[in-house]
Amino acid sequence: MADRQAAWSFDAASLPHGERAAAWADAMRRLHLPFAGPAPEAEAVGRVLAATSPMGFEFAVVSGGAQSIAGRTPGAERGLWMGLLIDGKARLSTDDMPVDLTPSVLIYGATGVDASLQFDGPFRQLFVRIPSVAIDARLLAPLAARVSLVEPRSMSGHALLALLHSLAASLAEGRPGELGPIESALIELLVPVIAVSGGFAGKGGAMGQRARQYERICRALESQLGDPDLTVQAIAAAEGVSVRYLQQLFARFGQTVTGYLKSRRLERARAELASPLHAQLSISEICFRWGFNQSAHFSRAYRERFDEAPRDTRNRARRSGTA
């Protein structure tokens, strides 16, 4: 098993037959996948190609023989996972009816939710785990405690599926690359897909209208995060609503306007601290690029959000070769 902080791989075929089943189960646990149990020795074959981004996104292409991934992973960190069948046949079983999966159907859910994924023969599957700190502020509501399916109908949905298939191919071929842009693109495409597929934005009536307005404002704010003079009053004026209405709108989705701005600025700063494309920028320069006026305030807010100093993020990325 090759292992380093940012990427690792495993191939059961490299081990003696008697050791493959247990080693495969260990590899599944490392991916936080609730492996239902060691397969029979004759079927204990499989391969994993995995990478972890500086922001903590986990990407893995898993291939193998007939097996079942079922249940929940104890102690899994809170976040969101996605699964996409690349090759083979698979069946998803939840509290709802069993569903046969295809390469054009994306499944996703909150970590810690019970589900069963059954592969009846040779398969290849992409798994993605997104930490809660990277996506919670963008969601209109907390993820429901269930597994959801997305059959892309919108442009965002088709683009998301194409990105995931391309990502799986790149991982399988061992192509090196910066994962930071992948993180950003995934979030930007995934948020509207989730909102429409099972969230408030897909509903009619006043609630659906407010959800779509909230999503539109959040998208508009993405291009203004670097403006240190951006105020609640200016945001409300641009949307043509009162400050009171804007604050109430964000409160409906568990946010405050200033809290949302602070969260997104910290996330963008964290991505640049871990990116080799911005390694020439000092921590202070990154701080000011994302709308913070004082380095000390930025460092305190960063530590409160990510439980580490900005310097720790940069040093870890440099040690892993990503910055």
At which of 162, 180, 198 does a domain end?
A: 198
The verdict on 222 and 192 lying in the same domain is: no
Q: Between 132 and 62, where is the model more confident?
A: 62
Angle at 148 between CA 103 and CA 212, to 5 degrees: 110
Which domain CATH number covers 38? 2.60.120.810
Which domain CATH number covers 262? 1.10.10.60
The verdict on 142 and 67 lying in the same domain is: yes
The verdict on 30 and 141 lying in the same domain is: yes
At which of 182, 198, 214 does a domain end?
A: 198
Give the pLDDT confidence score for residue 188 in this predicted structure.
Answer: 85
Share of the chain above pLDDT 90, in %: 39
- Indicate whether 224 pLDDT > 80: yes
The verdict on 233 and 137 lying in the same domain is: no
Model confidence over 140-166: pLDDT tens digits? 666 666 788 888 778 888 999 999 999
The verdict on 189 and 262 lying in the same domain is: no
C-alpha distances in angstroms, 29 versus 37, 203, 258? 11, 38, 39
Q: What is the spatial distance between Cα 94 and Cα 12, in angstroms, rounded to a whole number?
A: 29
The verdict on 236 and 164 lying in the same domain is: no
- Three-state DSSP class for 200? helix
The verdict on 91 and 212 lying in the same domain is: no
| Whether the Cβ atoms of residue 84 and residue 139 lie closer than 8 Å to each other | no
Average pLDDT over residues 71-89: 81
The verdict on 190 and 208 lying in the same domain is: no
Average pLDDT over residues 269-274: 90
Give the domain extent around 221: 204-319
Closest CA to 20 of 87, 67, 74: 67
The verdict on 208 and 161 lying in the same domain is: no
Domain total of the chain: 2
What b/e sequence results for 242-262 when a residue is b if at least 16 CB atoms lie within 10 Å of its CB, and e otherwise? eeeebbebbeebebebeebbb
- Indicate whether 51 pLDDT > 60: yes
Average pLDDT over residues 29-57: 74
DSSP 143: P
Average pLDDT over residues 231-239: 95
Give the pLDDT confidence score for residue 5 in this predicted structure.
Answer: 42
pTM for this entry:
0.71
Q: What is the spatial distance between Cα 306 and Cα 266, in angstroms, rounded to a whole number?
A: 9
At which of 158, 177, 198 does a domain end?
A: 198
pLDDT confidence tier of residue 202, bands split at 50, 70 and 90: very low
The verdict on 21 and 147 lying in the same domain is: yes
